[in-house]
Structure 1
Amino acid sequence: MKAIFILFIIALLSNSPALSATLKLPECLLEQSLETEVHFYISEDVLNEYSPEFVKAKIDSWIAYANTTLKNSCIPTRRSATHIEYVSELDSSWFQDVDVAERLLKNELGRQVPETNANGHPIFNAIVFSNWLNSYKSQYCGYASSSTFFFTIALNCPDSVLEHEIGHLSGASHDIKTLKEGVEAFDLEEYWMSSYPPGKPYSLGYVCAGRGTIMSYEDDRMPVYSNPNIYWDSKICGDAVTADNSRVLTEFAKQYLVR
Structure 2
Amino acid sequence: MRTLLSFFFSLICLMSAQVAASPENLILPKCQQEEVVETPITFFLSKEVKDDYSPYVREGMIQSWINRANQILKNSCVPMHRTLHQIVEVDELNLPEFESINVVHSMLEYYDPESIKEMTRKPNHYYGVIFSSKRSEALPPEHCGMTNNRVFPQFFTLDMACDKDTLEHELGHLAWAQHDIDTFSAQTEMTLDEVIETTPSHLKQFFKFYAFGYQCAGKGTIMSYADEVLPVYSSPEISYRGIPCGNKKFANNALRLREYVRHLRARLAVHSESVISHSEEKPPVTQ
Is the TM-score greater than 0.5?
Answer: yes
Q: CA 1:163/1:192 → structure 2, altered by over 3 Å: closer, same or farther?
A: farther
Taking the aligned partners of 1:27 and 1:133, their CA distance within structure 2 comes to: 45
Q: CA 1:93/1:228 → structure 2, altered by over 3 Å: closer, same or farther?
A: same
Q: After TM superposition, give the deviation of residue 19 of structure 1 in Å.
A: 7.0
Percent identity between the aligned chains? 35
Q: After TM superposition, give the deviation of residue 180 of structure 1 in Å.
A: 3.0
Q: After TM superposition, give the deviation of residue 59 of structure 1 in Å.
A: 0.6
Structure 1 counterpart SS, 2:32:
coil
Taking the aligned partners of 2:187 and 2:106, their CA distance within structure 1 comes to: 30
CA RMSD, Structure 1 to Structure 2 (Å): 2.3
Aligned to 2:170: 165
Taking the aligned partners of 2:23 and 2:120, their CA distance within structure 1 comes to: 44
Aligned to 2:186: 181
- Residues 67-146 of structure 1 mapped to structure 2, 5 A cutoff: 67-92=70-95, 95-113=98-116, 114-116=118-120, 120-131=122-133, 134=136, 136=138, 138=140, 139-146=142-149
Q: Which moved more, 1:49-58 or 1:140-149?
A: 140-149
Instruction: Tell me if the contact between 1:88 and 1:108 (Cα under 8 Å) persists in the aligned partners.
Output: no
Taking the aligned partners of 1:234 and 1:116, their CA distance within structure 2 comes to: 42
Output the TM-score relative to the length of structure 2: 0.76
Aligned to 1:206: 214
Aligned residues: 239
Taking the aligned partners of 1:20 and 1:44, their CA distance within structure 2 comes to: 36
Determine whether 1:29 maps to 2:32: yes
Structure 1 counterpart SS, 2:38:
strand
Gaps of 5+ in 2: 1-20, 270-287
Q: CA 1:29/1:243 → structure 2, altered by over 3 Å: closer, same or farther?
A: same
Gaps of 5+ in 1: 1-17
Taking the aligned partners of 1:35 and 1:20, their CA distance within structure 2 comes to: 25
Aligned to 2:243: 235
Structure 1 counterpart SS, 2:48:
helix
Q: CA 1:255/1:182 → structure 2, altered by over 3 Å: closer, same or farther?
A: closer
Determine whether 1:225 maps to 2:228: no
